[in-house]
Amino acid sequence: MGAGLSNTFTVDRDNQLGLGDLPESCMAEVLVYLDPSEICGAARLNRSFRGAATADLVWESKLPENYVYLLEKAIDCDEETKKMTKKEIYARLSHPNPLDGGIKVFWIDRCSGGICMSISSKALHITGIDDRRYWTYIPSVESRFQTVAYLQQIWWVEVAGKMDFCFPAGIYSVFFKLHLGRMAKRLGRRVCNCEHIHGWEKKPVKFQVSTSCGQKDLKRSFLDEPGKWKYYHGGDFVVNDSNISTTVMFSLIQIDCTHTKGGLCVDSVLIYPKGAGAGNPVTAFQN
C-alpha cells in the first residue's frame, strides 16, 4: 500500500512543481496569516506571489472593521476612491492622515490594526494660553506639528482635551508627550535652557482619562529628566464596538497653588493600541 501511494505522488523530475505553480487564490489564503511586512517580502519571491500579494482578500484582512469610516475621514470620497483596491486603502490609512486642519493626525498601526493618533498642543485647552506672561507657542523641529506650548511660570497648570472618534475595537493607551526645559539649537548643537524649570518636584502631576461610556483612569507622576522628551501614561480605555463613536477625555493637572510651576513644553497627546511598539510610545509613533 505504501509503495502504491509512493507511485501515486511521484513526479517526473523534468516536470517538478514549484511554489510558482500554485494558484494565486491558494497563495492569497496563506498570505492572510502573515503581517504586512511579511506579505511584502513574499511578493518578492516570484510573479505568482506578487500577484497574490495584491489580492483584496489579503489586505482586507489587515484593515479594521470600520475602514470605510476611516477612509472617509482621511480623504474626500469620490468615484475614483471607490475604485481603490484594498491594498491602496491600507497604504493610505497606514500613513499619517490629518484631521481638523492638521492639528491632529491618525494612522493604522501595522501590527495590531488599531488606530494611532497624535493630537497637537494647539488642539488642547490650556488654562492661561492666551496670556503670554504664562504660556506661549514656540517653533520646534522636534515636534510633528512644528510647534509646542511652552510654560514660563504659572500657579494653576491645567491641560485638557477630548476626541470623538470611531476607534477600531481594542484597548488603547493615552500618553502626554512633555519636556522640561526650552530646547534650541546653538552652533548646530541641541541645547536645553533650564532657566524656568521649577515646582515640579514638590507635587506629582495628575493625569486623567475618561470616556463617554463611563470609563475612568487616573495616574500620578512627578515630571523629571530635564532636556529629554518623555511620554507620561495618562491611562487606558476600552473600545468594544468599532461602529460607535467614543468620546475620550484626557487631562494633565497640577493645581496646588502653594507654589508656581514653570519650564514645561507640551507637544502633544498620543493615543495608540495598548502594547503597540512593544509598549514603547517612541517606537509606536515612528511613522
pLDDT at site 215: 97
Architecture of domain 2-60: Up-down Bundle (1.20)
Alpha-carbon span 13 to 249, nearest angstrom = 66
CATH class of 99-284: mainly beta
Element (H, E) at 26: helix 24-31
Cβ pair 112, 169 in contact under 8 A: no
Angle between helix axes 86-93 and 67-74 (nearest 10 degrees) is: 60
Alpha-carbon span 168 to 273, nearest angstrom = 10
The dihedral through the CA atoms of 44, 47, 48, 53 has a sign that is positive
To the nearest whole number, what is the mean pLDDT of the chain? 87
* Structure letter (DSSP) for residue 15: G
Stretch 68-88: mean pLDDT: 84
The dihedral through the CA atoms of 140, 144, 147, 151 has a sign that is negative
Q: Whole-prediction pTM value? A: 0.85
Q: How confident is the model at residue 38 (pLDDT cuts 50, 70, 90)?
A: confident
Lowest-pLDDT choice from 80-84, 95-99, 122-126, 137-141? 80-84
3-state helix, strand, coil in the chain (%, to 5): 25, 35, 40
Alpha-carbon span 160 to 49, nearest angstrom = 49
How is the chain split into domains, by residue range? 2-60, 99-284
